[in-house]
Structure 1
Amino acid sequence: MTDLKTAHQDLHSEQGALRGEHPGRSRNPLIKVADLAWLEFEKPDLDRAEVFARDFGFGIVARDKRELWLRGTFAGSACMVIRKGRTSRFIGPAFRAAERADLDRLARATGSAVRDANVPGGGKAVDLLDPSGFPVRVVHCAERLPALPGQRPLPLNFGTDHRRTNAAQRPPREPSRIQRLGHVVLETRVFARALDWYVDTLGMIVSDFLFLDGQRGRGPTMAFIRCDLGGVPADHHTLAMHLGPGTGYVHSAYQVTDLDAIATGGEYLKERGYRRSWGIGRHIQGSQLFDYWRDPDHLMLEHFADGDLFSCDTEPGWAPMSASGLAQWGPPATRDFLGAGPSPKRLREVVEALRGDNDMDPARLLGLLKATVS
């Protein structure tokens, strides 16, 4: 039998699971979703939302007084829909079903109905509610958006491998052109129940678990979760969740071409007065090159490139949860990115979490606080 710790060295984590720990997958899930389709938001000012969307690098699929649909350059579905609302808030994710029949299977098992998806090009959807209270849609779209022209990666010279001669390198200062939606990160007070729901209901599998220092025996407090596409490699994480005193959106991530696209797009955003939250750097779990920004409503979005891809036979890694463990290189994680700044809203969430029926208790809270400064 292969030693699990040895099996994970030089892969994505030095540690594998111990006996009896969460397997990171379900033996018999209801369905296996194929990808994130889009994310749903509400915002009071669609004009301002569209300006930021174009500056961040999205294309526009459709726009009217009530909805704004955004896309990347890759063929497929839209990345995001923003609907007119009283406040700026995240509604929930929509996942893409691998087959139309998966919607019928899911509807029967959950007592839901298959309905029209109300998406450009048409389609069908099943509406669910996860244990955290997030509305989750599983959709099958009738039409795929065609591909658009994208940014080409710059030719680079490596040692004696000279791909660029008699030509200077001058990447234009312009928006990073989004290729596709990569992942969404959520905070939840009911981490264990939410994790089981996503693996049992949607057939997702865990790439990496994080645990609090000295509390591994109590189970993980963060999971990076990917779609199970069998032997076809999938993004290291399509969904990430972590335990916290609140329940809500943390950030969403959008793939761009390369490091130069990240950097020049970041300069473009900075020149237009937007605020960087953290970056540029390279993550450990997932290995992505990253750059995080706040939109005018303070929601966080990430440009990323060069992420890990895992097939279904890669087992979960296990690692301690810490701020310093978030990146291989780059500036230290900011308090803004970590959500570590005290605020009346955060204090209310802590009080409510400690009083409620959830995974939070004083030891968990103390462990999370220590992780943000370790």
Structure 2
Amino acid sequence: MSETRLDRAGVATAHQDLHSERGALRGEHPGSSGNPVIKVADLAWLEFEKPDLERAAVFARDFGFQIAACTERELWLRGTFAGSPCMVIRRGRTSRFIGPAFRAAERTDLDRLARATGTDVRDADVPGGGRVVDLLDPSGLPVRVAHCSQTLPELPGQHPLPLNFGTDRGRTNAPQRPPREPSRIQRLGHVVLETRVFARCLDWYLDTLGMIVSDFLFLDGQRDRGPTMAFIRCDQGSLAVDHHTLALHLGPGNGYVHSAYQVTDLDSLAAGGEYLSERGYRRSWGIGRHILGSQLFDYWRDPGHLMLEHFADGDLFSRDVEPGWAPMSTSGLAQWGPPATRDFLGASPSPRRVRDVVEALRGDNELDPARLLGLLKAVNS
């Protein structure tokens, strides 16, 4: 049985023992930057392109988004919580992810970021207005940091259903009947990205945006080569925030894996899933509960084959929780639920995937044959 460890400040923490009995080893990545340019407060929104905005709007409503603004060229989607929109979809030739936008804590952070990166602060095309700095991460993905002039007001949401627990039986003479309706999205939670230059991307998000690591994953037998996945949260000091706002993992591709949107509770997630299934949408994986982050999850494909997640009941960490370390494996993805599907894992062969592998192995990046074999082993473990 593992014993409780002390973090660098001497504070007892069980977090590391949940993932590795030894925790971080001497000389391993600290999971934070000593002097970041700024510290972003959260994700603001995600940007996509799709050829058919009308079809995109139908799926958006079925998945549980509200329409914040709509023009002939773009569609802004939101949740019920007050704040910025969750997503913008612009009309384009194909269905694809453009990049994330992070929320600056202060307007002055944009000036500091622009000076440090040699870029400009410009007007943001977000409902209500604002300012934005446009960057590229080391994999070439466009990344925005925004400060909005106005926030969207709160909308009516779904109330969590009252539950009876053993002798704690507060619900009497009141049958439980969750309505068969779309899950009502509350907010954007996180985005997961694949990159061929994992170490460079990781350091860029920590050094430039001030994010910190909650958990590292490494390949079996290759821990000495460093991690190959990181679950990364925003640093808001003593304020507890989502276990991960961004997750990065090494792979043959560069770009979007999935994005996640919070709903009220398990009933909202499950009833919303039934609603989607009845309308012919395809579940990728779920329902289950993750290990890292602890979220209840349910993954779906939109009509353009992009993956989106409903989640509820995720972990919240403050600044003083040290990074955990664990081997990467498919069995480590969930505490309970059906086995992870090949669709979710991206393990189904396709011409594009084969092309990505060939290009990655030929290119100047971090994916060599040993790394690729380690990733394939992790998928099957």
Does TM-score exceed 0.5, indicating one fold? yes
Residue of structure 1 aligned with 2:178, choices 164, 171, 180:
171
User: Could you tell me how far apart the structure 2 residues matched to 1:114 and 1:17 are?
Assistant: 39
Partner of 1:355: 362
Number of the residue aligned with 1:196: 203
Instruction: Give the CA deviation at 1:319.
Output: 0.4
8 A Cα contact 1:12 1:285, kept in partner: no
Equivalent residue number for residue 305 of structure 2: 298
SS at structure 2 position matched to 1:363: helix
Pairing of 1:1-374 with structure 2 (within 5 A)? 2=5, 7-8=13-14, 12-15=18-21, 16-374=23-381
Q: What are the superposed Cα offsets for residues 27-86 of structure 1, whole Å, 9 maximum, x if unpaired?
A: 100000000000000000000000000000000000111000000000000000000000
Q: Distance in 2 between matches of 1:9 and 1:150?
A: 32
Alignment partners' CA distance in 2, 1:12 and 1:52:
38
TM-score by length of 1: 0.98
Is the contact made by 1:30 and 1:201 (CA closer than 8 Å) also made in structure 2? yes
Q: Distance in 1 between matches of 2:154 and 2:303?
A: 29
SS across alignment from 2:115: helix
| Aligned-pair CA distance for 1:122 | 0.4
SS at match of 1:25: coil
What is the alpha-carbon distance in structure 2 between the residues aligned to residue 194 and residue 10 of structure 1?
24
Indicate the SS of the match to 1:273. Answer: coil
Q: Measure how far apart 1:12 and its partner are.
A: 4.5
Residue 7 of structure 1 and its aligned partner are, at CA, apart by: 4.0
What amino acid does structure 1 have at the position aligned with 2:349? P
| Structure 2 unaligned spans of 5+ | none
CA distance in 1, matches of 2:250, 2:215: 15
Describe the superposition over 1:323-346 as per-residue Cα deviations: whole angstroms up to 9, x where unpaired.
110000000000000000111111
Measured against aligned partners, the alpha-carbon deviations of 1:221-243 in whole angstroms (never above 9, x if no partner) come to 00000000000001000000100
In the alignment, residue 361 of structure 1 is paired with which amino acid? D
Is the 8 Å Cα contact of residues 4 and 17 (structure 1) preserved in structure 2? no
Query: Do the aligned partners of 1:270 and 1:276 also contact (CA within 8 Å) in 2?
Result: yes
Distance, in Å, in 1 between the alignment partners of 2:78 and 2:7 is 41
2:300 is paired with a residue whose SS is strand
Amino acid in structure 1 at the alignment position of 2:120: A
Residue type at the aligned position of 2:277: K
Q: Which amino acid aligns with 1:13?
A: H
Shift of 1:14: 3.3
Q: How big is each residue's C-alpha offset from its partner over 1:74-104, in whole Å with a ceiling of 9 and x where there is no partner?
A: 0000000000000000000000000000000
SS across alignment from 2:236: coil
Q: In the alignment, residue 19 of structure 2 is paired with which amino acid?
A: S
Name stretches of at least 5 consecutive residues in structure 1 with no aligned partner. none
Opposite residue 332 of structure 1, the aligned amino acid is P
Count of aligned pairs between the two proteins: 374
**1:303 aligns to what SS in structure 2?**
strand
Measure the CA separation in 1 of the matches of 2:5 and 2:102.
35
Alignment deviations for residues 140-167 of structure 1 (CA, whole Å, 9 cap, x no partner): 0000100000000000000111110001
Deviation at 1:2, TM superposition (A): 4.8
Distance 1:159 1:21 in 2: 45
Native 8 Å contact 1:8 1:317 kept in 2: no
- Please report how far the alpha carbon of residue 252 of structure 1 lies from its aligned counterpart in structure 2 after TM superposition: 0.1
> TM-score, with normalisation over the residues of structure 2?
0.96
Distance 1:193 1:79 in 2: 27
Question: How much identity, in percent, do the aligned residues show?
Answer: 81
